[in-house]
Amino acid sequence: MLAYEGKMRIKSGTKTFKHEIECNISMNVAMQELATKDIVGKNYNPQDLEWSMSGSGIADNPEGAGELGIKDLADAMKAKQLAALEMTDGVAGNMAISGNGYYESLTIKSANKEKVTYDFSIKGIGEPTFATNA
């Protein structure tokens, strides 16, 4: 069995982020601490799952209908647009993570003699779905 390689990408709808360098998913379960006279030590009551996806890339304009460029990200952020997301490598048998979320942050960085880069994050709503690529 082969291990996953660094080829997972985030899609917004059916489009990929052009020149994406890295992508991430972060998940946290809020915990309510329980302390009673009958509990020795600590105990917790799990609350809601919070999640987000983030990524970074080299800024560029899309060349095809299946790509998102930096202006697309800025427009979606300004419009407070809900995005249908998927993080996958498309390899049969590997995991695909999907859900909906809102663009939460966009940072565009320009340094002397370097390519312009960007970082973005998307705050998930509800819970993500985990599937296996066919």
pLDDT tens-digit profile of 47-101?
A: 999 999 999 999 999 888 899 999 999 999 999 999 999 999 999 999 999 999 9
What CATH number does the domain located at 9-132 have?
Answer: 2.40.30
In the prediction, which pLDDT does 46 show? 96
CA dihedral (34, 35, 40, 42) positive or negative: positive
Residues 6+ apart with CB under 8 A from 113: none
What distance in Å separates the CA atoms of residue 104 and residue 57, rounded to the nearest whole number?
16
Residues 6+ apart with CB under 8 A from 82: 100, 101, 102, 125
Cα distances from 26 to residues 39, 53, 79, 121, in angstroms, run 31, 6, 24, 10
Q: Is this model's pTM higher than 0.95 or not?
A: no
